[in-house]
Structures are given as structure tokens and as C-alpha cells.
Structure 1
Amino acid sequence: MLKEKVASYFEKYPDLKVLFFFDSEKEHEEEIQKWHLSDVELIVADQALFNIKYRLEYELKDKKVLLFFPYDKPTTEQFRQFALLDILEANLELKIDDVADLIQEYGLASYHRSLVGKYIKELKLKKVQRVLAKILNDSNFDEQNVKRGLISYYLGFNNIVDPGLCLAKIFVLAESDKNINEIEKKLLNIDAVELVQKWFKQYLDLDSVELAYENILSATRKFKYNILLFDIRETKDDDPYQKLKITQPAKINKLYSLLNDWQNNPKFSEKLDYVLDTLADDVKYEPVFSCYGSDLNFPVVTEKMAEYIIHRVISILSHQPGQAIELCSKMMGKLSSLAKQMSKTIDSISFAAHFYKEKNAITTYILNRPVEYVNAYTNDFVKIDFYYRKALHKLLQSEVQINIDKLELHGFYQELHKDYEAYLLDLNKQWMKCLEENSFNFKSIDSPKQYGFYNHYLKDSEHKTAVIISDGLRYEAAEELLNALHSDTKNQSKISHMITSVPSNTKMGMSNLLPNNGITWNKGNYAINGISTEGLVNRQKILQSYDPDSAAIQYTDLIKMEQSEARALFKKKIVYIYHNNIDATGDDRKTENKVFDAVEKTIKDIEAIVRKIHSSWNVSRVLITADHGFIYQYSKLNDAMFESLPKEKTEVTHNRFTISSGKENKTNTFPIKNTTVLDEDLYVTIPTAINRFKHQGSSTQYVHGGASLQEVIVPVIESSRKREEVAEKVKFTLLNKELVIISGALKIKILQTDLINKDIKPRSIFIGLYNSTNELISNTSDMSLDSTAAAPSGRTKELIINLTNNASNVSFCYLIIYDLMDDPDKLNPLIKQKVINKSLIETDF
């Protein structure tokens, strides 16, 4: 045994040269006599010590030596005369008993011997020592810390944790009475039950809780109830759980600290849902919400709680959308690790609530003049289309579909689709009636017309201009694109609108957007100056016939170009770029239900290419427009929405219009020259409002070509870059209720309070932890707050800041956030908040 002990010392301490061993009782004399360890020289100190000293310093200076003394270690007084004192101080003494060994290894004081001896059974284990590493020193080694460390060890932690986290783990273990019995036995063995009971008193105001299974379950219920009522000071008489209320603010704060530590612990944060929703299920969400309603400011939302709130939101959404939006907003940023998978579902429901808020704000669809409808649409009605699209886009994602099935929300979404269809029908019936009263005379409407696009925006322009024509980009999507463009701090985009012609189809719209002094008809096709408007080659010919310094290109070809090729292209004064994703997706019956995905992709495509055109290809002006908009209805259309085609012989047949040479004696028939620059004796007939003609082979849910506001109002975004920033920078807020460092790391959540738009510009921030003398003591993070997401979840960011090794002992520090651009010298913090370091050992009493 002695040989193994000596070998372990030299292995543990690689720089060790001489190991002193005092054996006054000569217990190990026999092992010394039989000594054999090839790389350790044995010297028995039965000769003059000065001779031994000489040998150690010269003859054996490169050897490992065991120096055996068959007598007592010198006393304190004798040490002054001990010839080998300097060598002993530079090396180590072999301790055969575990207590002495541990005291020597960790530099504990001699008065710690009894405490070490009391817990040596546990302390001698290396895995225990790793957990207790922060207290195995002369300053922190006391019985309370040892007990706390051993409790942390028995509960499965890798280091000593806060008492609150220990209680959380005990809650988790209550999934079975066997677990609780086992942990109780371990705590009894180290006399730590009373300490845990004091923690229950500190955090939950529970007196002398025996560690019995039923008692722990009762504690979980009290924990859950007080977390739900975190900001409620006084209970209500009809609250069935009011006896569980903790009234002392200090204990409520302790409880919140426990919750915060639990959520930030990656090892078992997912167990929070199990404890609150299963073990503490006797505290139901329904009576709590019924009593306190919107006054509740819960700090966490579990999966089951989210399900309950979602059903509550659904029940009020159509008639109290404002309250529904508030509840959705409260949930976001507070979702537990398990509940985060519901964030897109909540987004979808929140968008639906916004849809109803905007729809309910409409007092009438009856206006006096067509221009009033155009203005009302671009200012108000458009938001209804936007929020429906966003709600449906989220809904159709696979993870949301799983939740919709689980929560049985299909009925709600069917109502949403029905209400959107009713809105489309009611609005466009009145709009079409107004148009009919004005003979569909678009020329009399005091709004820009699509056929005047080139003359208005390009003819007399002195600037190089890129024109992006995105097939099917309707006005509401362009407003979202506008906000996305504003994420570039130098972008100065603005949006306006035009009215297309009817038919509002691709052929007509693309012709209108080319330079023209009139468009001619040729058996269903259009021409300008005798050149067909079909195809890229012809369109470039038409452009160059008006300005030779022009070009046309497909978006798909442009993004494949080398830098030098693209720069050469954009030396032209006018470049038309044709983008086709929305219409290509919607016009195909196989993919029409993915059209809202195509809209999202289109916004990203155009935002990226505009940024590149400005910054890489040196074009200061970009115009973005569309040939037409569209209508999309998710639900299968009923038979009443399909009308028979006109009986008159037609030149062109489509599911949203027909063109004929004779006038059909039918409502919604008008001369084509009323809405276009065609001087032809042709007539257009369109179905009522949003109806379709029965036309084989056409897509039915995605349509365009008619005269609905969604089809005929198209955007014009004018994007430019300027150096000055005239808009204010976006604001942000910390979502953390409490800033606490756990295991050397601080997890923070930041919410960008508003989405980026023309009035609110992005902001770049610098984040770090600083001590009281303003020295940086952590890693740093740069964060861009540039989200254009309408949903709060899309504007919420999380990050982890870690203390540097040399700062691990600070008891507190400051989270400081600076603006990177406005304050490069970091002199004026945007946020400075105190952070408590709970990685340290704290005094509990």
C-alpha cells in the first residue's frame, strides 16, 4: 500500500522531487525494508542530515526520492534546527491517513481536521472534490458550505449551486416517492435535512417540511401558485388557492430567483414543465385566470399553460382582439424551453388577432368615389390582407400544424378563412359597384396609372435606375418589403401606388410598365411600336427604342453574374430586372397553396438584391413594382363563387376576365379603352367581386386578372441611399426580470420593441460585463437590432455572456450596453444594470 501511495504522490505532483515520510511507530518499516520502486530512490534518515542534504542537492538532484524518517516529525521548536527544513518546505510530506492527505492537498488549516474527519467518507471521493472545488480552500471551508456542496453532489450537480436550484431539483425528483426516499436517506447521513428545511422556509415560507413525497408535492403547488401570482399582492375572495399565497415581497423575490436559476440551467430546465403542469396540476390555470385575468404578469409560460392561454385567446379573439394581442405578447419571451416550440403558433394567432382588430375598425365599405376606395385601401384595408397572409403563412408551417391538431384549433382557422373571404367579398362588392357607376373609367380616378409608369418615373430622370418588376407583388407585401429595406441604415425608401389596367394580368401589366405612347392589340397579345411585349428580348428592344442606354435581364440570370459582369450591366442608364416567384408559384394548381411562402421568399430576394445594387454595383436609385396583385383564398371555394363564361364569342378567356369584340349584355362589362391605353373596340367582362369564371385548367384559389382592389393596386417603391440618417434608431428592452450569473454565465433576452420602417432605423449594440471600476470582465457581443418581423418573437434575441477566469470571484458587476455607431468610445451607456454573481458561494443565514 505504501508503494502505491508514494507513486500516486509523484504522479499527482509532477514537480515533486523529495517526499518526506515520518513514521515514529515504525508501522511501515517492513515495507521500507522490502522497498522496490524503480523510479523512486529510498533514503532512510538514520545518518547525519547534512550528508543527506548534500546528496539530495547534488548526487540525487535529478532523482525522485522518498526520505523515510523512523521517528517523529520535528516539533515547531525543533523545526528551527531541522537541517532539511528548506527542502521540506519546497516539497511535500507523505500523509498516510485520508484526512491529513486531503488537508495537505487543499491547503486547509489544522483546525479543519475534525470537520474533514466528519465528512471524510464523502470528501475523499474525487467526484465529490470536483463538485466542492470552490470551497476546498482555507477561506471557504466550513460546515454549512460542506453540507451545501454535498447536497449539490447528491442532487446530481457538477458544482455547488444556489439553494433554490437544489429545491428545484428536489421538486423534479418528486416524480416518484422512491427518489424522495433515497435523497432523504443521503441527507440524513450527512445531517443536512435541517438545512434543506430552512431553505423551504426561506423560499416558500414552509415550516419544518419533512422530506416526504406528499410534502414535496404540496411545495410544488405553492411554488406554482406564487409564480402565477408573481405581481399580485392581494388575493381575491373567490380565489380557491388563496391560502397558498406568500405575502412577504422578499420571499417572492427569492422564489423568482429560484425560477430564474432553474430556467437558466441547461441540465434540467425542461423539467420545469413537468413540475408545474404534472406534479402541481392540482393548481389549475382556469380558476387563477378567471380571478385575475389580464392583471396576471406571469414570469414563465409552460407548454400546458400556453395551451390554456391559447384557448382563452381564441375565445375572445374576434370580439376582443386587443386583449388577445396583449395575451399573445405576454407569452412571447416567457416561454419555457419546452413551450418554445409553440412560438410560431402564438405568432399565427397574434397575427389573426391583428387581422380582427383591423377588420373590426372598418365602419363601412360604402364610399362615394373610386379614389376614396384606393386611398382607403392603401391606408387601412391593406392591413387586413397583410395580417391574414402572415397568420396563414405561420399556420401552414409543419410545427404549427402539429399544434393545431393537438389543440383542436381547426374550427377557429376555418372561421378565420370564412371571415377573410367575407371581407374580400363585402369590400370588393362595394368597390365594383362604385366602378360600375363610373363605367369602369379608370382614367377619371385621381391616382397614378400603371401605363404611365415609364413617363412618370424614368423618362426625365437624370439618375441611373434599376427597375425590379416582381410578378404578383401586391401592395401589402411591398409594405413589408419597404420595412425590410429600412434595415439598411442608409436606405431612404418610400412607397406609393399605381392602378393597373383591367385585365390585371401579366401580359397587360408587363406591357404597361414599358415605355409607350399607346399599346396595340394582336389577337390576345400586346405590342408597342409593332414590337410584341412578350419575352425578354422584345422588352429590351422596346426599352432601347426609347432610350438606347437601357437593358433588360431576368433576376435568375443577374444573381449568377460575376461582379465585373454586373458592374458592366449597371453602367446602363436604365436596367429592367424581371423577378417571377409569386406568380409562378400561384399560377400552378400544384403549388398555389404555397404562394405565401413565395411572397416571403420574394421579400428576402428583393431586399438582398436591392442592397447589392446600391452598394456593390453603384446604382443610387432602384424602383420596385409589379405587373398586378392577386387574390388568395385558402378554403375550397363553394359553387356559388363560379360563374358561367359570357355567351358572347370571346377573344381571350380567363377565370377572372374575358375579352370580346362585342359587348356582352352583362353587368361588369366595359370597353377595354376605359382602363388601358388600348384604342381598340374590345370589351372586358369580369365576374362579380371576387368570383371566378368556370375555366378549366386555371388555378382557383390564387387568381388575378380581375378588378378587385387586391389585384389592381400595385406598389412603387423608390429606394435610394443617402448618408444622413433622418430617422430615430430602434429602441429595445431587457426581458430579464433579474440579472443573475449562474456558473460563470449570464443569459439575457433582448426585445427590439418596434419593427424597422421608414421612421425607425436599425441599431447595433455592444454588450459586456464590467466591474465596479468599469473594467471589462467578460467576453463581448455585438448585436444588430434590425428585425422587420411583425411578430415579437421575431424581434427577440437571446445570448450568453461569460465571465473571464480572472473575474470569477466578483460578487457583483454591471451589464452595460453601448451603441456601437454613436458611442464608439463607450462613454455613454444605453443600459447599465447591476448583475449578481451567484456562481460564488453565498452565506445562507
Structure 2
Amino acid sequence: MADVNIDQVVMTLKNKFKTGHQFIFWYDDQGEFADSVDDLIGALAGVATVIELKMGYQLKTKLRLLEAGKSEKFLIYSPQPQPPLEENHLRDMVLYSELFRADAPEILRKELQLPENMYSFVKTHAAFFGSKERRARFMKYDVHSYQAEPTMAIMAAIVRLDQPLVDFFAVLRLILKGGIVDNKYLNDFEKYHVLEDFWRIVNDRFGFQAAEPDLLTLASGLYVTMAFEQMGLITPADNRYNLSARAANVQTFMQQFSAEAFGERRDDYNQIAELVWDNIRDNKFFDQLDIDDLANSDVFPEFDKKILSWIQYQLLLRNDGVMVNGLNIGKLTKKRREMHYGRSRNINHLYLMIRSAWQVIRARDNRPANGFNAMVDEYTNGGFYVDMDYRHFIYEYHMAGYPDYYMRLKRLVEQTYVDLLSRFNTSWNQTFDYQQVAPQLLQRNFYNQYVRNQQNRIVVIISDSFRFEVGKELQSRLQREDQVTNMQMHFLISGLPSVTYMGMPALLPHKQLDLQYDSRSVMVDGQPAKNMAQRQEILQHANPKSIAYRYKELQGKTRDEIRAMFANQEVVYIYHNQIDTTAENKGTEDETTKAAETAITELQELIWRLRTNNITHVYVTADHGFQYRDEKIDDIDKIEVETVAEDWKSPRYLVSERDIKDPGIARQSIANALDNQDSRYVYYPTTANVFKANGSDKYAHGGSSLAEMLVPLLDVHTTSKKSTAHEVTLQINNSNLQINSLDVPLSVMQTEPISSKVTPAAFKLYFVDENNHQVSGQIVINANSKDSRVENRIQRVNITLVDQQYDRNQVYDLVIENIDSGAQSRVHYRIDIVDNRR
């Protein structure tokens, strides 16, 4: 046998020489050890001389042996069979010498450390064991895990199973990943005579029978049966894909396969699902099923497509209160996002998109509160969610690749949102008056109200166009961190027009603000405030220990550099521009919602970098907000208003001294906006409409609305101390720890609600035996509930055991494994199942 380890041969030969044999003849009929002659020479050095008997050298060899001294010992190795008597010149010497025959299978069995009863197995599969590399892979496996089915270990070695225990389900997963149509592994199975055993084991485990079995039919049976099992329906009996007789094993295998790559690429499982769907399409197994049934299965991505399509249809009918299995659309989409395909990028975006659409549509009948203060209270305490949900809808729609199939839903969301904007804008502009706004709420009083009298260093981050609802999302993310010691959201009412050249100067220390007549700029106490140097000079005039930076100046700086930049400074203004710089450009304004996401992330990271440098008090605010509509407004729908040379006109405002009384337009005096004697007015549409003017097609600001004028003032206090937060844990509530069925129901409780001190985590749950061999399917639980009520943090799930014999005296463990950290907790169970076959 080529390439067999000769240690056992050498040991046997040495023992024979020790017993007094001078000559040992070894006729290797198949020449299996011909390549090992050099190894033999080295191994027997000092014990015996090795002579390789070659064709035509019999007499020469015989003379050499006859001349040998009595103390000399020889191994005569021939890579051919012993010649016939009439041709064998060494026959007389062979008769009185030792004749050695190597039992290659036995030598190999010992090398592989297999029990004696596996001799015939080794001999039968000699071709497989002829490779040192294949033997090395085979030897990695625990013999106890495959002794009952030895060929499984050959299969495992061929597919390169990377675990010590040979598990057929794990082997099968690797086989399926190797290709459904032209599988390289099955070719090797046939080559090394284990293909019949493979299909026999498949039949035993899954009840799969076919005259000419193939992987596509097997995979179809696994996927189809799993789908019906998840739905709690009977698999149609009259089809070749029905494997329900061994449903427990089907579920176990499919749960393991689905959960195997959680958080990683899931291409193999998904690609096989697509091949199976194409294969069974004509059977129409799932065409007539109710949405309640489809919602329970995640075997095929087509189920998610059907569910998303069904939700869209219901929303188009305004049936936003519809329920599926007792879940509203919000809870249904959350559930589906945590299932197999919901964790994939595209379908996850679609569920988030359609959930946001549902939120906007169900707000269609919202009505504004009466009066300025009531409207502000309503908006800051939840009314802002309409703007947030619409922004999220557009963001997810774009991230999903602008799917044409959902264009009707997009138009409905667009129309609903515009109607809401117009309704609330109209009400706002019927009640808003600067003279009714409390002074501490005015943006122009920010410095005096919040900065001037601070005793400790204060950092003010001003993010251009960072409207209130975007600030609320930043607040929500920061609330997850336990190193935020205190945080409050206030708000400010911007000036009009609600633009940068008004908002930035208003946030600086001043006594007088004046809007220029010859340029769109505001003078601060007679000083310009357009650029960083001018703003820093104004800050330092109020407090010499002040400085201003652009956000980009801080990017990439080391900790020491940051500390040096902030040293000895009491007031630091940081100017951040992500949303406005993206949205003002017609070429990139479609990226406005993405820019908002980026802005939130950048500010969160900035606050964290400052925290690590002992800069622990930060205000986040904005110069103005914005109004965004993803659908362009046709020119015919825009408001036409005549202007003169001295007027300034943009899509959302007009500055003029003239008295304009056109319908659909309101005004505020510049004097009231800036608290000065300016004689001009700022005019603006009372609805969500715009003036016919140069500017962006979708993104606009400058007008009078809650989204444009009400800006966040997030007051954040942090600590530089290390986080004491810990990941949440799971606990099993079941009091009965004895299992009597292959279906194991579990009551799993998230021990604490998610908070700044308790972070969410994902866990996989499965059963193992005393050898740590998995004996069940695997489920994933996302522990992310913020609910303080214990009963609402309990999830009821089922795990299916492998359909096999269980030892009632053995202890089996339920493993609860944190997917990210790998940390495990275990619960001991006994399994006593009378009849495994269901």
C-alpha cells in the first residue's frame, strides 16, 4: 500500500531480527513499499543491512549473502512476487530463512488507531487510505463518533469537515455547499466507494428514496418539508418531496443549516433555496396558502416577497390596522426581520421601508393641536415621528435599490406626507408669531442662555441643517451608552428666513444682529460672521478663552493632538456640515436622507472622542432644519410671485420691503426675527409648497414650518470612566427539565430590559450530548427588548431533536451561546422518549 507509515513494519522486522533470524526475505507482490526502501535503510541502520532485490541481480545477491559473516543480518526486499521455482536462484536460502509478508491493512489499522473489528473496513477502502494527506484528515476525527458508520468518516475527510466529531448533518451541509448540480464531493464519494453508503444514510435519516437519487431532489424535499412543518401544515403526500416521515430530522438539519452562518454570508443556503424554488415552481405548493401560514415560515425568500407584497396591498387599501397571527404590521415586520431572510441586506431594507410607510400612512388623520405652545409641545413629544418615518422610508427605499415594484406605495407615502406637511404647516403659520415666543426659546438668545455663565468648559457642536427629528435619533442612540450620565433635549426657534446666514450668527454672542441689504449675511455687533476666523473673533471678544474648529479639522487627530487643540479653552464651537452640503447640491440631493444617517453617526463618534479626552459637556444644535420631499414639484404647482430688484427669493422664502398679499403666503417682520428695526419682511408659503425660484428640487429650507424652524438643543453630559455596561442574558423558565418528545417547547426570558447599562445580544440555542455533539436544531434569539414588564420579555420557542435513540440515564445540555462572544450557559436535561418516530 503506497505511502503507508512503515513504523509498524520496522517494529515487526526488528523483533524478528532479535529472535535470531539472519536473513529475512520480503516479497512485496504489489510493490506497495517500493518507495519506502530508503526509509527502511535508515530505520534498520545498526540492526540489519537492507538489500533491494532487483531484476537480474539474484546471483549477485546470493553471493553477497553467502559471504556474510554470522553476525551480519540482512533484509532482502523485492518489489515483485517471489519467482517460480525454476527461476528462483535464492529458493534454497529462502527455505531456511524467515519469509516476511507485510499486512498493509493491518499496519494501517494500527497507524489509524482503529479497533480490530475495523480491519475489513480499512482493507475495503485501501484506495482512499493510500494518501498520507487523506489519512491525516481522517485521523482528526474521534473514532467513537463514526464507529457505527465508518464510511461517514471517509465522507467527512473528503468534504474536509473541520470538527473532531463526525456528524452526518454537518457533512451533508458541506456537500450541499459543494454544488447541487455538479458536486465535486459526490464524484470523490464514487471514486472511493462510499457513494452508496451516502445515499443509504440519507434514506435512513430523512426517508429519502429515489431510483436515481440526486442532490436537487433531496434539497427540494428538505426545503419543502421544512416549510410545511414551520407552518404547522401537512406536507402534500402525493409528491416526491415529502419527507415528513422523518420531519424531526428535517427540521433539525434545516435549523442548523439556516442558523450556521448567522451574521455572516448566507449565500449557500439562499442559493440552494432559489434552485429548489425553480425546481418546484410548477408544483404550486404554496400558491393558495393564507398570509398567516406564510408568515410562519422563512424557508424561501419568495415568502418574504409575498408578505411584503401583501402588506403593500393592504396599505394601498388604507388597511393599516390589519393583523397577521395577532401581530400588527409593525410587529410583523420586526418578526420577519429577525428571521432568516430578514437578516439579509436587501430584504431587511424592504421591511424597514414598508414599516416606515405604515407609520406614515397610519398618521394620515393626525390633526395639529390648537395654539403655538400646544403645537410645539405636541411636535417635540412625538409629532416629529412623521418627519422621521418619512425620512426613514426614503432612506430605506434608496438602500433597497429604488424598487419599481413599490412605486405605488411610494406615491401614497409621498402624498400622505405632503398632505400632513401642508396641514401642519398651515396651522403653524396661523399661530406663529415671534412676539409670542418665550425669549429662552429663541435661537438668537442661545449664547446668553446656555453658554455665557457656564463655569466649566463647554463644547457647542453646530451641525448645518440638523433638524429636530434627526437630533432625536442622535439622542436615542446616545441613550444606549452608560457613559452618558445626563442628557436632555431642548429646542430653539430659529430666525426667518430659516437659513445658514441667519442661524449661524444667531448662535454667537451678540447684542445686535443686522441683516445686510446688499448681501445675504448678518452682521454681529457690526462685525461680519461669514467664515471661521470671523466667528472665532466674535467668540473671543465675549470670552478670550474661546476657539472654533471645523469638524474636519478634528478628524484623524490623535488623542494628544485633540487635547492640545482644546487646552486652556473654556468655550469651543465645532462646525459640522454633512446634510446641507449634500442636499444643496442638485447632483447629490437624492442622498439627503443618507447624509442625515451619516451626520448622526459622525456626531455620535465625535462626542465619544471628546469624552475619552475628558471633554464631558457638549451641546448639539443646528442653524436651521429642512423640508424634504423625494418627489419633485412641477413648476405648474409652484407659487408664482413677482419680485423687484431689491427682493431676495428662494424656493421657501422671499425677503422684501413690499406689502405682498398674495393667497397662500404669510409673513413675519425681520425686526421681530432679529429684534432690531429692520423694515423688511420675510414671506413664505403657508403650506409645504415652494416659490418658483432657483434652488434644489427636493430639499428646501428658509421657510416657516416646524421641520425648518424648530432645531434641537441636545445637552449631553458624559464621563470618561470605563463603561460598566454588560450584555443581557437569557434564562430558561421551564420547570420541567425532562424531555418526552422530539419537539421541545422552551420559555426563554430576557433577564433585564435593554438600557444604557444592559446591551442587547443575539444567542443561539441547541442541545448537545455528553460528548458535546449537537443533537438538535439550532434557533437564534435576539434579546433586545426594552420592555420593563417581565412577561413581555419572554419568548416561547421550539427546538427539534434529532430523530435517534436517546439514553435516559445520560445528561443532555441545552446550550445558550452568545453569538458574538461565544460565552455559554447550560441547562441540564434528561431525555426519555419512548418512540422517536413521530
TM normalised by structure 2 equals: 0.71
Give 1:686's aligned residue: 684
Kindly state the Cα deviation for residue 686 of structure 1 after the two structures are TM-superposed.
0.9
Secondary structure of 1:634's partner?
Answer: coil
Q: Give 1:675's match in structure 2, choosing from 669, 673, 676.
A: 673
Give 1:380's aligned residue: 382
Give 1:537's aligned residue: 533
Farther off after superposition, 357-366 or 763-772: 763-772
C-alpha distance 834-482 of structure 1, shift in aligned 2 (>3 A): farther
- Counterparts of residues 563-602 of structure 1 (less than 5 Å): 563=559, 566-570=562-566, 571-602=568-599
Task: Give a deviation string over 1:403-461, Cα, whole Å, max 9, x none.
Answer: x25xx3334334333333333223223322333xxxx3453469812112112111222
Kindly state the Cα deviation for residue 532 of structure 1 after the two structures are TM-superposed.
2.2
Task: Give a deviation string over 1:189-240, Cα, whole Å, max 9, x none.
Answer: 66946x8456435435x6xx244359x766555433331233444659xx89
Q: Give 1:148's match in structure 2, choosing from 149, 152, 156.
A: 152
Secondary structure of 2:523's partner?
Answer: strand
Rounded Cα–Cα distance in structure 1 between residues aligned with 2:14 and 2:637: 98
Task: Give a deviation string over 1:260-281, Cα, whole Å, max 9, x none.
Answer: 3434389954553245323333
Kindly state the Cα deviation for residue 638 of structure 1 after the two structures are TM-superposed.
1.8
Give 1:610's aligned residue: 607
Contact 1:172 1:271 in 2 (8 A): no
C-alpha distance 527-183 of structure 1, shift in aligned 2 (>3 A): closer
Secondary structure of 1:675's partner?
Answer: helix
Aligned residues: 721
Give 1:364's aligned residue: 366
Q: Give 1:475's match in structure 2, choosing from 468, 477, 484.
A: 468
Secondary structure of 2:711's partner?
Answer: strand
Secondary structure of 1:96's partner?
Answer: coil
Contact 1:644 1:693 in 2 (8 A): yes
C-alpha distance 54-572 of structure 1, shift in aligned 2 (>3 A): farther
Give 2:702's aligned residue: 705
C-alpha distance 726-423 of structure 1, shift in aligned 2 (>3 A): farther
Rounded Cα–Cα distance in structure 1 between residues aligned with 2:287 and 2:347: 24
C-alpha distance 213-818 of structure 1, shift in aligned 2 (>3 A): closer
The amino acid across from 1:514 in the alignment is L
**Percent identical across equivalent pairs?**
19
Rounded Cα–Cα distance in structure 2 between residues aligned with 1:751 and 1:641: 55
Task: Give a deviation string over 1:789-822, Cα, whole Å, max 9, x none.
Answer: 9xxxxxxxxxxxxxxxxxxxx997775669999x
Kindly state the Cα deviation for residue 309 of structure 1 after the two structures are TM-superposed.
3.2
Task: Give a deviation string over 1:89-112, Cα, whole Å, max 9, x none.
Answer: xxxx97534323323322445554
Kindly state the Cα deviation for residue 121 of structure 1 after the two structures are TM-superposed.
5.1
- Counterparts of residues 198-597 of structure 1 (less than 5 Å): 199-200=202-203, 202-204=205-207, 209-213=209-213, 220-233=219-232, 251-263=246-258, 264=260, 269=269, 271-282=271-282, 284=284, 286-287=286-287, 289-290=289-290, 292-293=292-293, 296-298=295-297, 300-317=298-315, 319-320=319-320, 323-335=328-340, 342-361=344-363, 363-397=365-399, 400-401=400-401, 404=403, 408-435=405-432, 440-441=433-434, 443-444=436-437, 448-491=441-484, 492-523=486-517, 524-559=520-555, 563=559, 566-570=562-566, 571-597=568-594
Rounded Cα–Cα distance in structure 2 between residues aligned with 1:455 and 1:53: 114
Aligned CA RMSD, in angstroms, stands at 5.4
C-alpha distance 171-351 of structure 1, shift in aligned 2 (>3 A): closer
Contact 1:325 1:350 in 2 (8 A): no
- Counterparts of residues 24-173 of structure 1 (less than 5 Å): 27=27, 42-43=48-49, 66=75, 96-120=102-126, 122-124=128-130, 129=135, 132-133=138-139, 142=147, 144-150=148-154, 162-164=167-169
Rounded Cα–Cα distance in structure 1 between residues aligned with 2:560 and 2:711: 33
Give 2:652's aligned residue: 656
Give 2:806's aligned residue: none
Secondary structure of 2:384's partner?
Answer: helix
Contact 2:137 2:160 in 1 (8 A): no
TM normalised by structure 1 equals: 0.71
Secondary structure of 1:693's partner?
Answer: coil
The amino acid across from 2:224 in the alignment is Y
The amino acid across from 2:594 in the alignment is D
Task: Give a deviation string over 1:245-288, Cα, whole Å, max 9, x none.
Answer: 7778xx44322221134343899545532453233335547436
- Counterparts of residues 771-782 of structure 1 (less than 5 Å): none
Kindly state the Cα deviation for residue 833 of structure 1 after the two structures are TM-superposed.
5.5
Farther off after superposition, 530-539 or 104-113: 104-113
Rounded Cα–Cα distance in structure 2 between residues aligned with 1:471 and 1:167: 56
The amino acid across from 2:693 in the alignment is H
Contact 2:360 2:413 in 1 (8 A): no
Kindly state the Cα deviation for residue 473 of structure 1 after the two structures are TM-superposed.
0.5
Rounded Cα–Cα distance in structure 2 between residues aligned with 1:26 and 1:184: 34
Q: List gaps (5 residues or longer) in structure 1.
A: 57-64, 70-92, 736-749, 776-784, 790-809, 837-842
Contact 1:585 1:592 in 2 (8 A): yes
Secondary structure of 1:686's partner?
Answer: strand
Farther off after superposition, 456-465 or 484-493: 484-493
Q: List gaps (5 residues or longer) in structure 2.
A: 52-61, 63-67, 79-98, 322-326, 733-747, 773-781, 787-809, 831-835
Kindly state the Cα deviation for residue 597 of structure 1 after the two structures are TM-superposed.
2.5
Contact 1:484 1:788 in 2 (8 A): no
Kindly state the Cα deviation for residue 720 of structure 1 after the two structures are TM-superposed.
0.8
Secondary structure of 2:367's partner?
Answer: coil
